[in-house]
Every structure is written in structure tokens, then in C-alpha cells.
């Protein structure tokens, strides 16, 4: 029986690659729901090809364009953020692939979990912002959460078959991004075009900048804490420029398990969509003879302050990670528009941590309030 997939964020990097997986395995998957934001043309093209039951365009001003283009097809068309939340509850959906980036994914993620939908999640911000509530909700609804990030997918795969064997430590690997080995003085002058040149991975603009600042790795540490029930001291980061070892788990006996492969996001996407099966594919295979050196080093925390701020937020807990996430989203957006310099990104995050009220035990409403207040405060500081 085909697995019926809802792809939220189908026009983004993860979403388009997920559809590549569906193309390769038409006997295994069918697309039930597609949602997109502003790229109406691509959303229409995807809908015509995959014939989902429902399509949602997040930008309500594009509703007429999408609905008119799909008028001749048996496809229901909706618009707006509320519609994206509602479609995840559809009874004909077996798996929700959360490929919406940023804080915008929080409400539809909550809805999917409350509806008991299995969730393949590529959005790390939801765990960063509200990991504790996510875990509680998933436990109550018995929702299966499968990570799509290559690092968390690697940890997930390394833990397979190890139930009951305590984890001593996990190592999340980082490529180091385009500025590995650079000084603070160098980074003060870099432009967005330079930061967007990732050496190994093809990703969206926001996550590519997060990789360049290493905030991406800080977020992954927070996400790993909640996904795998770990304490901060059990989570470490290693810079691995070749991006072949995607992460490692060290057990109490000192044994290490690593998941390896070429840097191709379609592999963890396919693994999450097909879980617990492994499906044959035609992706490029690893040739060990072509990699004579696999190297590892500690990240330079004096240069990459965003990583340090994320680590501090993880240890502090409460709404601190929410503050960091909101400040980072605003700062990265400003950097991409050349409104601020690269090294001002961590400065603005630190400013937010110092100026937004700390809440030790935030409620669900507190997360949304903290996010809004942080965005306003950081935007005012930029302007």
C-alpha cells in the first residue's frame, strides 16, 4: 500500500528533493498534500505533475492564480497559514514531511503531532524553540518523529538496534562552512554572496548562512537534546570538512558508531519517508578510494560566536533558545539584504538575550509571545 505524504514546503530545497524521491519510487509513495509559500509557479507545476488531493499556497494574494491554474484538475486549493495548519489533520495523510523553514513551522507541527500524524521533520527551529513541548505532545499522541537533517538522521540510524544501551556522547559533524579557518577581521567584511557558497551542501539561503555562522550546528545541538533525550554535556560538535561522516554515537563501553555517505540530502529524506524500510535507489555511491583523508577538528568558538550563544541557550533552557532563534532569523534576513555585516549577526543575538525577558518554564503562548517581542526588538536595533 502506498504511503500517502503531505509535503509542507514543497517548493523549497527539502521539498523539491522529497519530490525527487517520490519520482524515483512511484510504487511506494503518493502525494496527498502540497504546500508552498510565494513560489506559485513551481507549486502549480508540482500539483499538475503529482495530482495531490489538496494544495495550499501560504501567500493568500496568490490564491486566485493557483486556483485558476488548477481549475481543470480534481485538486482542492486553499490559502493562508491557517489552511496549512488544517491540512495536516487530513485523515488520508500517513506521513507529514515538515520542510517549512523557520518559526513558521511551529503551529502546523503542533497540529500534526496533536492529530497523531507520523512526522518526518527537516525543520530544526521547532525543536530549538519548543523542544520540551514537542516531546510531551509526541508522547501523548504516540506520534513517531523521524529526523531529516543529515546529522540527526545519522544519530537516529546509529541508535537503531541499540535500545537499552546507554549513550555516553554524540558527535555532530560540521563541514565548517565557507569560512572555516578565517579570522574575525576577515569575517567583518564578507558579503552574502560569499557566505552563500557552501563547499559541500546545496541548501536554501537561510540554512546556508546559518552554516556559515555555525548557528546551524548550535541549533542541531539543541534539537539533539530533545530528539534523543540527552543532557548538554553529552553533545559535542566536530568540524569534518569532507562531510562524509554525518555524525557519531559513543556508547558507555567506548564503542563508536558512525553513519557515512556522500553529502546528498535525498538520502536522509528517503530514509525518513520510507522508514522503517530502506529502498533501493540510483544515488551516487561512496568510493572510499577517492577519500584518502577524513579529518576532524574542534570548531573555533572564538570566531564563531553564534555557536557559543546557542550552546549557552541550550544550557540555560526556558525561552532562551526561542530568543536565539527569533533574533537569528531577523539578523540573517537583514544580512541577506546587506543591511548588516556578517559579524553583527551574533551581536544582535547576544543583544536579544540580554534584553528579552527570560522565562524559565514557558507555556505554549509564551513561545509565540517571546518570538514576537524578540523580532520587534532586534528589528528596531537594526533600523
The CATH number of the domain holding residue 102 is 3.40.50.720
Q: Which helix (H) or strand (E) holds 121?
A: strand 118-121
Residue 89 lies in a domain: yes
For residue 201, give the C-alpha cell.
Answer: 551542501
**Residue 376: domain span:** 318-383
126 has a pLDDT exceeding 70 = yes
Strands 118-121 vs 95-98: parallel, antiparallel or unpaired: parallel
Q: Which pLDDT band holds residue 103 (cuts at 50, 70, 90)?
A: confident
- Residue tagged 492529530 (cell numbers): 115
Q: What is the dihedral of CA 199, 201, 206, 212, to 10 degrees?
A: -30
Structural contact between residues 283 and 267, judged by C-beta atoms closer than 8 angstroms: yes
pLDDT at 322: 95
75 has a pLDDT exceeding 90 = yes
Is residue 168 domain-shared with residue 250, that is, in the same domain? yes
Q: How far apart are CA 213 and CA 187, in angstroms?
A: 10
Q: Which pLDDT band holds residue 201 (cuts at 50, 70, 90)?
A: low
pLDDT at 310: 97
235 has a pLDDT exceeding 90 = yes
pLDDT at 245: 95
State the total domains in the chain. Answer: 3
Domain boundary among 128, 147, 166: 147
pTM passes above 0.85: yes
Residue 284 lies in a domain: no
Is residue 199 domain-shared with residue 232, that is, in the same domain? yes
Structural contact between residues 119 and 92, judged by C-beta atoms closer than 8 angstroms: no
pLDDT at 1: 85
For residue 32, give the C-alpha cell.
Answer: 496527498
Is residue 351 domain-shared with residue 252, that is, in the same domain? no
Q: Which pLDDT band holds residue 202 (cuts at 50, 70, 90)?
A: low
Residue 285 lies in a domain: no
Q: Which pLDDT band holds residue 102 (cuts at 50, 70, 90)?
A: confident
pLDDT at 290: 80
Strands 54-57 vs 76-79: parallel, antiparallel or unpaired: parallel
Q: Average model confidence (pLDDT) for the chain? A: 93
Beta bridge partners of 55: 34, 77
Residue 182: which of 17, 343, 379, 347 has the closest Cα? 343
Q: Which pLDDT band holds residue 287 (cuts at 50, 70, 90)?
A: confident
Q: How many percent of the chain have pLDDT more than 70?
A: 99
Average pLDDT over residues 239-255: 95
pLDDT at 206: 86
Q: How far apart are CA 298 and CA 53, in angstroms?
A: 48
Is residue 44 domain-shared with residue 14, that is, in the same domain? yes
Q: How far apart are CA 206 and CA 94, in angstroms?
A: 29
Better pLDDT: 209 or 125: 209
Average pLDDT over residues 177-188: 92
Amino acid at each position: 500500500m502506498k504511503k500517502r505524504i503531505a509535503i509542507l514546503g514543497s517548493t523549497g530545497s527539502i521539498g523539491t528533493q522529497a519530490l525527487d524521491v517520490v519520482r524515483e519510487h512511484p510504487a511506494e509513495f503518493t502525494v496527498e498534500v502540497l504546500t508552498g509559500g510565494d513560489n506559485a509557479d513551481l507549486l502549480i507545476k508540482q500539483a499538475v505533475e503529482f495530482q495531490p488531493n489538496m494544495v495550499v499556497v501560504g501567500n493568500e494574494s496568490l490564491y486566485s492564480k493557483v486556483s485558476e491554474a488548477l481549475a481543470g484538475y480534481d485538486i482542492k486549493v486553499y490559502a493562508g497559514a491557517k489552511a496549512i495548519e488544517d491540512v495536516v489533520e487530513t485523515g488520508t495523510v500517513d506521513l507529514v514531511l515538515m520542510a517549512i523553514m523557520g518559526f513558521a513551522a511551529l503551529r502546523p507541527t503542533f497540529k500534526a503531532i496533536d492529530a497523531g500524524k507520523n512526522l518526518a521533520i527537516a525543520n530544526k527551529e521547532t525543536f530549538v524553540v519548543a523542544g520540551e513541548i514537542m516531546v510531551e505532545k509526541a508522547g501523548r499522541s504516540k506520534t513517531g518523529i523521524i529526523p531529516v537533517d543529515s546529522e540527526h538522521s545519522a544519530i537516529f540510524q546509529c541508535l537503531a538496534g541499540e535500545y537499552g544501551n546507554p549513550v555516553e556522547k554524540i558527535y555532530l559533524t560540521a563541514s565548517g562552512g565557507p569560512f572555516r579557518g578565517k579570522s574575525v577581521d576577515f569575517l567583518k567584511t564578507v558579503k552574502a554572496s560569499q557566505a552563500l557558497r557552501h563547499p559541500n551542501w546545496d541548501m536554501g539561503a537561510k540554512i546556508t548562512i546559518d552554516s556559515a555562522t555555525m548557528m546551524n550546528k548550535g541549533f542541531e545541538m539543541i534539537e539533539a537534546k530533545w530528539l534523543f533525550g540527552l543532557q548538554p554535556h553529552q553533545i559535542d560538535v566536530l568540524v569534518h570538512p569532507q562531510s562524509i561522516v554525518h555524525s557519531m554515537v559513543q556508547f558507555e563501553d567506548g564503542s563508536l558508531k558512525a553513519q557515512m555517505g556522500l553529502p546528498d540530502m535525498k538520502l536522509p529524506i528517503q530514509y525518513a519517508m520510507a522508514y522503517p524500510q530502506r529502498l533501493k535507489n540510483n544515488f551516487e555511491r561512496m568510493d572510499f578510494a577517492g577519500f584518502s583523508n577524513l579529518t576532524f577538528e574542534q570548531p573555533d568558538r572564538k570566531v564563531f560566536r553564534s555557536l557559543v550563544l546557542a550552546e549557552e541557550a541550550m544550557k540555560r533552557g526556558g525561552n532562551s533558545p526561542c530568543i536565539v532563534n527569533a533574533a537569528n532569523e531577523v539578523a540573517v534576513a537583514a544580512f541577506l539584504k546587506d543591511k548588516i555585516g556578517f559579524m553583527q549577526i551574533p551581536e544582535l543575538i547576544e543583544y536579544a538575550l540580554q534584553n528579552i525577558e527570560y522565562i524559565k518554564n514557558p507555556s505554549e503562548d509564551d513561545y509565540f509571545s517571546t518570538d514576537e517581542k524578540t523580532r520587534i526588538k532586534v528589528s528596531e536595533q537594526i533600523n
